[in-house]
Amino acid sequence: MTLTRKDFPEGFTFGAATAAYQVEGHKFGGAGPTHWDTFSATPGNVVRAEDGALACDQYHRYGDDFDLLKAGNFDAYRFSTSWARVLPEGRGQVNQEGLDYYDRLTDALLERGLKPYQTLYHWEMPSALADLGGWTNPDIHNWFGDYVEIIDAKIGDRMEAIATINEPWCVAFLSHFLGAHAPGLRDIRATARAMHHVLKAHGEAMTRLRAKGRDNLGIVLNFDYCEAATEDPKDQKAAATADAIFNRWFIEAITKGTYPAEAMEGFAPHMPKGWKDDLKSHIHQPLDWLGVNYYTRHIHAHDETASAWPNGRDVQGHRATTQMGWEIYPEGLHHFLTRMSESYVGDLPLYVTENGMAWDDRVVNGAVNDPERAAFIQSHLAAMKRAIEDGANLQGFFYWSLLDNYEWAEGYEKRFGIVHVDFETLQRTPKASYHMLKDILAQD
């Protein structure tokens, strides 16, 4: 059965998402360098050492991209504003060209009747602040707060919703413990600090925006279904530890003012001074909505060979995988939507702010046939519908991504878009999945 707009509650928002560094073309418009420019220029970090200098050139082509959204019957666009475009040095001198760009972009969305959903940080730390330790610096929340006030003064009054941070697990753990994203550290002290400071920065932004009367504030967390490989208590512990770091750390701090014991087992000796006070003063405060990003599950086992915490390893599952090698596991989306409402946020509005899949899509005779993606979307829509029936207050869904784009350490190789981008010519070709969404989102 094909689900359509009519299978969801009246007013349910359907959108597509992107992020600044992945689509804009960072070399345009006076943006300052970011830690992704240097991470990607360091051999071995990014496929073919590709960066976001040109990306999809949305900086010049946003009008055409928004026409595609409109023609596709979408209601909304989720985008991010780049700190380094607004403040090239991270602090101090404002780049007026950058502010004007986001002003034009906002107008272009509204002119087409598309609702703007802004994210304030989607991973491009200005290099000048990275030089000072980036997310490990105890002052980062103040610098972030200053940037937030500047961009908010320009476009905040026209945003449908504002998210502080995209995927703090990636900002902190993936980037400071696993070393897979900029700044590419593998250091537990840096990780513990980043895990905490990113939340403190979220809280600082919330406080500053509340003071301006904003009542549409949230955060976007990513979740990964953590399953134990066997019943063995050691494997169960490996899964519980991964779940605590990935799925519980951020939401528990925000909604309960605590960090999970299973994660503190590793991080406690490395936490920054005053972290308990910060939980009270900054982090534990109400949200207006919560964004849920969901892609896959991982199966965890105890690693006998590991010499240090968290002593876990991944075991390959048996489901079909995407071009990223990620298992397709829609049950996990139902799990997190219902888990959020039952255990953490009650009736607070939830949005699926990202969900999608990468595939090796090719243009053949002017068309891109991607039935795998259409099936992926339908199976995840079904999981969302079940979650709503089971009580989750889900109010919208944003497909990741509108365009094929810069997939971070994977460069331009992994294609998540419903619109194909030829990275030589920058030509956009809507894929069959775009046309499927266009059909199912038509109003009558």
Give the distance, in angstroms, between the CA of residue 272 and the centroid of all CA atoms in the same chain: 25
CA–CA separation, 223 and 169 (whole Å) = 9
Q: Is 424 a catalytic site residue? A: no
Q: Which of 81, 293, 322, 338 binds ligand IFM (CB under 6 A)?
A: 293
Q: Which CB sits closer to ligand IFM, 79 or 400?
A: 400
Residues 6+ apart with CB under 8 A from 6: none
CB 281, min distance to ligand IFM, A: 29
CA–CA separation, 79 and 135 (whole Å) = 22
Q: Which CB sits closer to ligand IFM, 113 or 325?
A: 325
CA angle, 302 then 303 then 306, to 5°: 140
CB 179, min distance to ligand IFM, A: 17
> Contacts with ligand IFM: how many residues (CB under 6 A)?
8
Q: Which of 124, 167, 327, 370 binds ligand IFM (CB under 6 A)?
A: 167
Q: Which CB sits closer to ligand IFM, 77 or 267?
A: 77
Q: Which of 407, 415, 419, 434 binds ligand IFM (CB under 6 A)?
A: 407
Instruction: Choose the catalytic residue: 50, 124, 327, 354.
Output: 354
Residues 49-78 binding ligand IFM (CB under 6 A) are: none
CB 407, min distance to ligand IFM, A: 5
Q: Which CB sits closer to ligand IFM, 22 or 393?
A: 22
Q: Which of 400, 409, 419, 437 binds ligand IFM (CB under 6 A)?
A: 400
Q: Which CB sits closer to ligand IFM, 324 or 426?
A: 324
Comparing CA positions, the residue from 171, 169, 182 lying closest to residue 46 is 182
CA–CA separation, 205 and 282 (whole Å) = 9
Within 73-122, residue ranges assigned H as helices are 83-86, 96-111
CB 7, min distance to ligand IFM, A: 26
Q: Which of 75, 354, 361, 404 binds ligand IFM (CB under 6 A)?
A: 354
Question: Half-sphere exposure of 84 toward its Cβ, with a 13 Å CA cutoff?
Answer: 26
CB 55, min distance to ligand IFM, A: 12
Cβ atoms 167, 246 nearer than 8 A? no
Q: Which CB sits closer to ligand IFM, 71 or 320?
A: 320
Residues 3-32 binding ligand IFM (CB under 6 A) are: 19, 22
Cβ atoms 195, 267 nearer than 8 A? yes
Give the distance, in angstroms, between the CA of residue 146 and the centroid of all CA atoms in the same chain: 22
CA–CA separation, 379 and 204 (whole Å) = 37
Examine residue 376 and tell whether it contacts ligand IFM (CB under 6 A). Answer: no
Phi, psi of 115 (to 5 degrees): -85, 130
Q: Is 167 a catalytic site residue? A: yes
Instruction: Choose the catalytic residue: 167, 204, 327, 407.
Output: 167
CB 358, min distance to ligand IFM, A: 7
CB 293, min distance to ligand IFM, A: 6
- Count the Cβ atoms, other than its own, within 10 Å of residue 214: 18
Residues 6+ apart with CB under 8 A from 21: 34, 36, 52, 55, 82, 122, 123, 124, 406
Q: Which residues are designated catalytic? A: 167, 354
Applying CB under 6 A, the residues found at the interface with ligand IFM are 19, 22, 167, 293, 354, 400, 407, 416
